[in-house]
Structure 1
Amino acid sequence: MRTPPTAPRTRRAGNAATPREGKGQQTKAAIVDAALSLAAQMGLEGLSIGAVAELTQMSKSGVFAHFGSREELQISVVREYYHRFEHEVFYPALQVERGLPRVRALFANWMQRVAVEIQSGCIFISGAAEFDDRPGPVRDALVGSVKSWLAAMDKAVAQAREVGHLRADADARQMAFEIHGLILALHYEERFLHNPGSIHRAEAGFQHILERYGAPPPSAAPRRARTAKPVSRPKE
């Protein structure tokens, strides 16, 4: 799974962090965690240095010292959300064999996360509504994260076709598109409309997709027609 273009740089090997740097990183991580919980409920646009400072019981200047701007704080929240999504949904599915088992694992992991986000909110979905027509670094961070995840789903579906678990003529991109559509519909139906049974409908929809694109079971080999034995004539 490729890393979004906004991913933070890693520390070079051999350059150990000093105790002061380590404490600073811990404080920054705590701020991002608090900001993520706020953004899940209020959206990225609802984030402010003041609100995060109040939640973390820090001064505004203390929060500002770690990020420098509200925009940088928003981008850090997107990165952290993507990091958690990757570790909860994608990486566990990589331990499953390629093909439909991996596609099923990806969907199951995704559904487990959605079950929580129906109550707390999804940064990808709320962020898409907030920044769909607003170019800039925050939108770029969101788009990079979502595209990276969807590319992983596309690849898993394409591999399922390659190993023969899907029809040879199956449109892998279309199948992945429909799976993504189920998740979006589930958020809308369950979180916004509060329609009962939405999770079961999403699971049923996934099964219908697998049935529609799945490879037909191998047909039984045709039986050989029995050769009729020649009728023996009585001896004269």
Structure 2
Amino acid sequence: MDGRLARGAETRRTTLRRAAEIASVEGLDGLTIGRLATELALSKSGIFAHFGSKEDLQLATIGYAEGIFVEWVVDPALAAERGLPRLTALCERWLDYSRARVFPGGCFFAAVTAEFDAREGRVHDAVLLRRQGWVALMESLITDAVELGELPADTDAGQLAFELDALVRAANAQAVLTSEDTAYDRARTGISHRLGERSVAT
């Protein structure tokens, strides 16, 4: 029984990994159980046992991609010193995550946000929840830096989070489109200008 559970867990991980890769390029609508079964040489019934519907598959893929994002970006950034170093690390790690093509289409969430931003339903809500969590994290780190005197006392955390997020997302979009990395350097320069001397190293 333990062997069966282990195989089932591995099938789920393998399926979700491939699903996230596809979604980062083609969107979540590009996912079907039949396609995944064919590409992974698995049975449809085996995959269906884990994901009862296309929507369930989409939601599970979002959850999987979130785990990868936390592993690559959030956890390493939170290990940095509180305040501006932690905020800077968050931006650096996001750029590294996109640049490394952890997913072939660049940032998974940038891709699926554009796909579902004007829709309604459970998938839209799941994407929105992750988006809100990301912005809230950035704002909290900015607030920490303000409290420590590393950013001006009148810093608007929401505005600064919007600007930093715009820089990293623009770098991802430009780099994916052109297959050139210069956009990441430009983003780092913009972040450096916005945060001051103790910021992202180029």
TM-score strictly above 0.5: yes
In the TM superposition, what are the counterparts of 1:20-35 in structure 2 within 5 Å? 20-35=4-19
Identity of aligned residues (%): 37
Instruction: Give yes or no for contact 1:118–1:191 (8 Å, CA) kept in 2.
Output: no
Which residue is equivalent to 1:114?
98
Shift of 1:22: 3.0
In the TM superposition, what are the counterparts of 1:1-236 in structure 2 within 5 Å? 18-117=2-101, 120-121=104-105, 122-193=107-178, 197-211=182-196
Q: 1:97 to 1:119 in 2, by over 3 A?
A: closer
Instruction: Give yes or no for contact 2:171–2:187 (8 Å, CA) kept in 1.
Output: yes
Q: TM-score, normalised by structure 1?
A: 0.77
Q: Which runs of 5+ in 1 are unaligned?
A: 1-16, 215-236
Give RMSD over aligned pairs: 2.1
Instruction: Give yes or no for contact 1:118–1:187 (8 Å, CA) kept in 2.
Output: no
Instruction: Give yes or no for contact 1:98–1:159 (8 Å, CA) kept in 2.
Output: yes
Shift of 1:190: 2.1
Deviates more, 1:57-66 or 1:75-84: 57-66
Shift of 1:193: 4.8
Q: Per the alignment, in what secondary structure is the counterpart of residue 49 of structure 2?
A: helix
Tell me how far apart the structure 2 counterparts of residues 194 and 92 of structure 1 sit (CA, whole Å). Answer: 26
Q: Per the alignment, in what secondary structure is the counterpart of residue 100 of structure 2?
A: helix
Q: TM-score, normalised by structure 2?
A: 0.89
Q: Which runs of 5+ in 2 are unaligned?
A: none
Instruction: Give yes or no for contact 1:31–1:56 (8 Å, CA) kept in 2.
Output: yes
Which residue is equivalent to 1:4?
none
Q: Deviations over 1:1-39 (max 9, x none)?
A: xxxxxxxxxxxxxxxx84433332222112111212222
Q: Flag the structure with higher helix content.
A: 2
Instruction: Give yes or no for contact 2:77–2:86 (8 Å, CA) kept in 1.
Output: yes
